[in-house]
A and B are shown apart, each in its own frame.
Chain A
Amino acid sequence: MITQTPRTFFEKVWQDHVIKSLDQESDLLQIDRLVLHELSGSQALRALEEAGRQPISRQQVFTVIEHLISTQPGRGPCDSVSTSGPSMIQTTREASKKWGVHFIDYDDPRQGIAHVVAPELGIAFPGATLVCCDSHTSTIGGVGALAWGIGASEAEHVLATQTLAQAKPKTMRVTFNGSLKPGVFAKDMILALIGKIGAQGGIGFATEYAGQAVQDLSVEGRLTLCNMSIEFSCKYGFVPPDEKTFQYLKGAEFSPKAAAWDQAVAYWSTLASDPGAQFDKEVTIDCNMLEPQVTWGISPQQVGAIGINIPAPKTASDHEAQALGERALNYMRLEAQTPLLGVPIDVAYIGSCTNARLSDLRAAAAVLKGRKIKPGIQAICVPGSTAVKHAAEAEGLDQIFIQAGFEWHESACGFCGHIGDNRFANLRVISTTNRNFESRQGPQTRTHLASPATVAASAIKGCIADARELI
């Protein structure tokens, strides 16, 4: 009998897709799914056409209108707060139809943020290679896919060849031990990890999330966890597939059916890391002690438990991180050694590929129910997909949000990035999104990242607040 060396999930999936080794570091990979959107996908489609080429495998390409399209109720086919939005949406629409790729338009009931839609519809599946011109494509690792963000030129290459050259990353395993306390969520797990290993901690790695707390997460929670892999500069993050994954995908529009489903599940069941498989790096987080997390700076590594005092820059790990700390306090207009709790906010935002799935809206609604947001606060909810919006409406969550004082929008990427709406300019926002970079959500906008429950509680109190006092 031949004994195989134990392999990680990553090694199995990568090896499954190697067409050819290009050099000591890189392989030419088969790409199972390409997802495009109107911001960068339009560039890839234009470049492809200018080069006189065509998509080679249209069945494996999906376009979703989500980055620039307006979230306003009653939106039209090209409505956008971005001045170039209408033309980019229309260009993408026309090119997608012309080439016959799968196309999900603004008014399609399947529409939504690509990384919410791809798992929902079974476009993504365990062991798939899935790429998209968006760094948060790592989200889709939550259903056991190997999914990563690429540039527009790489997308053009995938369109033309359905392959991509990539350097093979090293492997990291992050083990989340123990169980989350009530009021603590997947968002808090990933923020705590980034705080621990730093915004550069994942460069050159593919990260497997493991441990009891990850097994216990719903698939939606796993998608949140994987979403922010790129915030520690890790292109790939994933949770190997298990029974929960299969149940989540079963019956989805693009999931295999009948005998093909059984065949697929049998294969997917072999993908989990083998016992004894070795990782290049191991990190452990104890979830029994984990508190809700909130960022206080301009990098996601500038994060802490909600009850902390904002750290003095001099406590950072090195001179450069100290300089970043000083710039952060200056930009965020915060004082070192003062509490994060109670910092007044102007805006509460629930949306994005990170935290706008049904379970996220339920967590926020549990805090908002029967309460009103503090007068003067702007509060906005943009569901992650039209299906999430409809499901939330079916169980009355929209009414809880609206009665609390939230605006209830159509699904899209919305206010996660600043594409033209200056509504958050110079304001302090607590947000369920993934980036607290300078001016990310608007000119001089100061963003604090947190879970949906923390954002909802902060909307009610008008300041950074602990949801556990309200649940």
Chain B
Amino acid sequence: MDLTSLSALELGSKIKNKEVTVEEAVKAQLEKIKAKDKEYNCYITVLEEEALARGKEVQRLIEEGKLDSPLAGVPVVIKDNICTKGVKTTCASKILYNFIPPYDATVVEKLLNAGAVIIGKANMDEFAMGNTTETSIFGETKNPHNTEYVPGGSSGGSAAAVAAEEAFYALGSDTGGSIRQPSSFCGVTGIKPTYGTVSRYGLIAYASSLDQIGPIGKNVSDCAAVLDIISGYDSKDSTSIKQDSYNYTKALVNDVKGMRIGIPKGYLGKGLDEEVRTSILGAAEVLREKGAIVEEFELDAVDYAIPAYYVIASAEASSNLSRYDGIKYGYRTEDFEGLQEMYKKTRSEGFGNEVKRRMMIGSFVLSSGYYDAYYKKALKVKALIKEGFDKAFEKYDIIFGPTAPSTAPKLGESLSEPLKMYLGDIYTVSVNLAGLPAISLPCGADSTGLPIGLQLIGKHFGEKDIIRAAYSYEQSR
């Protein structure tokens, strides 16, 4: 039996019932990675020896009754912008090519406390800026459904690893869709939690007011189980928010009777691929047949989410990435004269094109004379987008639509036209601007066999609503 085809919870339960040892699971996972990853390139780092040693340790702890998490012993891959103590964390960038964090991110600490075995670090777009995983200095990740296509991004390595059974589950990060869109393109499930639900401590910052870590898994239950572990208040993250309950697996209930579901008309309009539309509307019909009340409505201001997003995200990026100076860690240029030239050459050689582009947009919109017209304007648009969602959630429990306007594009087609690439984020960025939770899950495939993703958006702290609806849909497929 190929263990790697099990879901994370299935494997966890087999380990608990002594049908499988943690070592066997780790070995099976490593073998799968060896067999497949040359082709897909999901991993930046594979921790072979470390994972085998950790597997033994976790097995012992389970036998001693010291670990009772449903995911104890299950191998996991972590996106390479999340700090892992003693393990290279690169952000897929030359500027951090050799960075070894002296500490674990809070999410990593929580996973380890629950008995996780970290099997490696996942490929991504450089600094999580991109939606194809083609901007990594370690080379592009390929879509396991068809290697001529991108896996999406920026958490493309995480999503592709789960799709290729090179990982039981993964952690990704989502600033404008970076968990949901690759989940959609790779036919797996991913959750972007409410801002403040999962600690950002140890997540290398891109746009701090939008960044959020979340799970990518083979199904809704796995994602809920991971979220149970990684969520929670953290005093090390000043934007962390205390909540009453972090028990998401409780929401795995197959029942949507009376649930009010709104579909924004703009999410079905111009720019949406016909096959995606058909598939999404089919999924809506499934939920309606199960007793949900589904209707279309107008969502205010959402058309302006992409311009507002690129202003805010780029502005924050230009500030956050000013820390890479060639002094404290990472890359430093070889030849230079004086401090200023060292900064400039280090950064020009260390960052890739898309990162430079966003830092320049960010510097521009924050510069004197343009600040009000761009940055302040974008923050006002953000306020209106949030207001639009607030109004919608007075009438609906969840908002329903596609994750992306099309299925995965071919490799090499996106990077030459940045603006066109940015427009691919149309259904995902508004969720980050408004700080909402959202899930992407598979709802079919197009005529070429590439997966289509369905996105469910919840109100603030409404993870349980979207998990329940997603689980109900999944049970009916």
Decide whether A and B assemble into one complex: no
